[in-house]
């Protein structure tokens, strides 16, 4: 089943790249040509992949629900946790290697938990906390609860460090994130009727000059990329997320084009070398302060 999921994931990556490059929905014929197969083989592969994906999600549904219960009460709806768990199942299926002697159900639990933990760390608090920091916060809270229960007193940072294995510096840093987050709709004070939201500057609004400059910069970058070979342009667009604002790793791009990451590294290096000539640097130097 995981083989079918890997097939459909690869085909969908190809389609996504084509749609990003053309800006329109890709026909089945173009999709098949890019995948190096005929249309009938593509349709068979798609149906097989979709069937495998549905079967894996169906067979792991009870496991996802069981693991989701461990994250209830943290401000995330059960439906959202299940959705995150399903994403973890798909990622696990794409990465699963049966030759390593690990059972699929055991392997996929890691990705289900990881996906749910990321969902909680991203949405359960008033501000977004990085996953690694959120994990440290959970360790600290568990350590404090356990030490307080067994010793009958509130533990200090050194005691928590010994119990959890975290450094004291990490504990101090993570503890700052445990403070209560205030609401922007809260009034500034008893004598002032204004709310924090009304007095806070809107940092998301950019000046018209910078907006225009960024548009010109984007146009000039695309003009420079058009001077590269097709494959060089594709690699840089994916590497730096110039289409969808999602930079990809060398390994991810290598999987898309079915080549090694070292080969992608060479293409990237060659393309950047072409762009680093003196004339190009001078033409873009006035954008450095953006």
How many residues are present in the chain? 290
- DSSP per residue, 153-175: S---HHHHHHHH---HHHHHHHH
Residue 9: count other Cβ atoms within 10 Å of its Cβ: 17
User: Cα(216)–Cα(119) distance, rounded to whole angstroms?
Assistant: 37
Residue 217: partners with Cβ closer than 8 Å, 6 or more residues away? 284, 287, 290
Distance between first and last Cα of the chain: 49
Whether 72 and 85 have beta carbons less than 8 Å apart is answered as no
Convert the pLDDT of each residue in 77-134 to its tens digit.
Answer: 788 889 999 999 999 888 888 888 888 888 889 999 889 888 877 765 555 556 677 6
Across-strand partners of 195?
A: 187
Q: Is the pLDDT of residue 262 over 90?
A: yes
Convert the pLDDT of each residue in 174-203 to its tens digit.
Answer: 776 655 445 555 555 555 556 655 556 555
Helix axes 230-239, 261-275, angle to 10 degrees: 100
Whether 56 and 92 have beta carbons less than 8 Å apart is answered as no
pLDDT of residue 180: 46
Q: Is the pLDDT of residue 53 over 80?
A: yes
pLDDT of residue 235: 92
Full set of structural domains in the chain with CATH: 2-123 (1.20.120.1810), 131-199 (1.10.10.10), 208-287 (1.10.10.10)
């Amino acid at each position: 089943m995981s083989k079918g999921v890997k097939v459909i994931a690869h085909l969908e990556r190809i389609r996504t790249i084509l749609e990003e490059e053309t800006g329109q929905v890709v026909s089945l014929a173009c999709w098949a040509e890019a995948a190096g197969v005929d249309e009938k083989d593509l349709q068979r592969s798609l149906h097989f992949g979709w069937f495998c994906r549905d079967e894996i999600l169906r067979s792991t549904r009870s496991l996802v629900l069981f693991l989701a219960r461990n994250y209830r009460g943290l401000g995330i709806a059960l439906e959202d946790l299940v959705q995150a768990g399903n994403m973890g199942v798909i990622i696990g299926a794409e990465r699963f290697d049966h030759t390593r002697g690990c059972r699929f159900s055991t392997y996929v639990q890691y990705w289900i938990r990881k996906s749910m933990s990321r969902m909680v760390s991203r949405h359960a608090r008033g501000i977004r906390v990085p996953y690694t920091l959120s994990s440290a916060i959970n360790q600290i809270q568990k350590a404090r609860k356990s030490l307080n229960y067994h010793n009958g007193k509130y533990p200090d940072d050194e005691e928590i460090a010994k119990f959890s294995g975290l450094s004291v510096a990490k504990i101090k840093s993570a503890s700052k994130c445990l403070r209560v987050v205030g609401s922007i709709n809260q009034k500034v004070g008893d004598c002032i009727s204004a709310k924090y939201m009304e007095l806070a500057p809107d940092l998301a609004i950019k000046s018209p000059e910078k907006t225009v400059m960024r548009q010109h910069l984007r146009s000039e970058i695309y003009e420079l990329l058009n001077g590269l070979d097709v494959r060089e342009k594709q690699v840089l667009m994916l590497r730096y997320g110039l289409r969808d604002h999602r930079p990809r790793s060398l390994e991810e791009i290598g999987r898309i084009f079915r080549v090694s990451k070292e080969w992608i590294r060479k293409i990237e290096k060659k393309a950047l070398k072409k762009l680093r000539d003196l004339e190009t640097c001078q033409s873009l130097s006035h954008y450095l302060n953006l």
